[in-house]
Amino acid sequence: MPEISARSRSAPSSPIRRLYPLAREAKRKGKHVYHLNIGQPDIPTPQSYLSGVRQADIDVLSYAPSPGLEVALEALAGYYGRWNIPLHEEELLVTTGGSEAITFALNIACDPGDRVLIPEPFYPNYRGYAQLTNVEVTPITTEREDGFHLPSSQDIERLIDRRSRALLFSHPGNPTGVVYSEAELERLVELALRHDLFIIADEVYREFVYEGTHRSLMSFPEAADRVILVDSISKRFSACGARIGVFASKNKQVMQEANKCATIRLSAPTFGQLGLASFLADPHYAEVIEGMIGEYRHRRAVLCDALESVPGITFRRPEGAFYIMIGLPVTDAEDFVGWMLTDFPGEETVMLAPGEGFYATPGKGCDEARMAYVLQEQNLLSAVAALEHGLELYNATQKTAANT
């Protein structure tokens, strides 16, 4: 057979994919598994989103215009306006999820062999998009002790070389929940200006802020020509399956290139766009969103309070998103996560996302795991109880093994 390309072979296969068969096997044996490993919200999709799809008056389900349906672009411009992010329709593109928006951004900013700087730990799929577009990732390491806030400008600057083309980060952060301070954002903008970098700002968790305030990268006029906003309705509208994201920029040339990318792939899914327009026109929109954020705020408190009482677990309370990256009293988090699925004797167990997959630096994150608080209070408490019990047993087993 012909040889598979190097870029495909080297694309990462996530550790989570190795763990899923173990979770399936645990369930087959009758065990209940609390899935805190994925960012799949359990919040119902808003009724007005779904009715926008169900009541669509469609005779021929034709291609939507490549930049997006007019109703969707209008609705999005209105949405950003409410956030004081003034974006005209021609500065916006509806994409097939945030995933596609990031791929467009990397294609536009980078040629093969170019580099993108990403604070680590980061959303593991960033590495996938980079690998498939032949872009190298330069990690900017951040630390759990600092709540994953950014290192000094000098530390970041040391990582920039002549192939560096862009900064990419999610803000609020996945998996860290970090919300950057005003000063941090200013430093990033300053660095981008000094080194002529694009800023690819993934703000899909914009609404999910529990401490401090979120400032959009779009609000820095001095960086207007270099900011590419990546967005998605997946989490905020609990509509992951719709595959609707956004690519936005105030830079006309960037938008021209993005429109070329959009034309090549024809259009984003029509149904998802109709739902978006319908929900954004819902008079109860703000109420629905506030209710959802209130729920996550509550879960964050519940989860953090519970975790604080577990011996050996270390973390700083995340400021946003719905993730928390915790330190575990183990040396190999992936092994422990697997053990919880295969060996933990309880009737209920928990699945976490091992930390290593969120880092580009080898060896980092071995004692960490990400939890997504996408389950209701009682389930979160049961999951933490299983985790605490599991850690005790696992560490006892490890000691026994070491002594034999």
Name the pairing type of β-strands 323-327 and 92-95. unpaired
3-state helix, strand, coil in the chain (%, to 5): 45, 15, 40
- Site for a copy of itself contains 333 (CB under 8 A): no
**Distance in angstroms (rounded) separating the CA atoms of residues 302 and 296:** 10
Under 8 Å between Cβ of 369 and 355: yes
User: Applying CB under 8 A, which of residues 272, 318, 327, 390 lies at the interface with a copy of itself?
Assistant: 272
Q: Is 160 in the site for a copy of itself (CB under 8 A)?
A: no
Pick out residues in 204-243 that bind a copy of itself (CB under 8 A).
Answer: 225-226, 234, 238-243
Q: Is 361 left (phi over 0), alpha (psi -120 to 50) or beta?
A: beta
Scanning 170-178, 253-261, 279-287, 382-390 for contacts with a copy of itself by CB under 8 A, the matching segment is: 253-261
HSE toward the beta carbon, residue 228, CA cutoff 13 A: 31
Smallest distance from a copy of itself to CB 272, Å: 6
Residue 28 binds to a copy of itself (criterion: CB under 8 A):
no
270 interacts with a copy of itself by CB under 8 A: yes
Instruction: Look at the chain and count its residues.
Output: 404
Q: Which residues pair with 314 in a beta bridge?
A: 327
Among residues 23, 53, 277, 372, the one that binds a copy of itself under rule CB under 8 A: 53
In the complex with a copy of itself, the residue whose CB is nearer, 37 or 142, is 37
Q: Which is nearer to a copy of itself, 110 or 306 (CB)?
A: 110
Compute the least distance from the CB of residue 373 to a copy of itself, in Å: 15
Residue 18, interface with a copy of itself (CB under 8 A)? no
User: Rounded distance, CA 92 to CA 90, Å?
Assistant: 5
Which one of 7-15, 78-86, 284-292, 319-327 is the stretch in contact with a copy of itself (CB under 8 A)? 7-15
Q: Mutual orientation of helices 97-109 and 252-264 as an angle, nearest 10°?
A: 120
Choose one: 194-202, 302-310, 356-364, 378-386; the region binding a copy of itself (CB under 8 A).
194-202
For helices 377-403 and 333-342, angle between their N-to-C axes, nearest 10 degrees: 110
- Residue from 44, 78, 212, 294 that binds a copy of itself (CB under 8 A)? 44
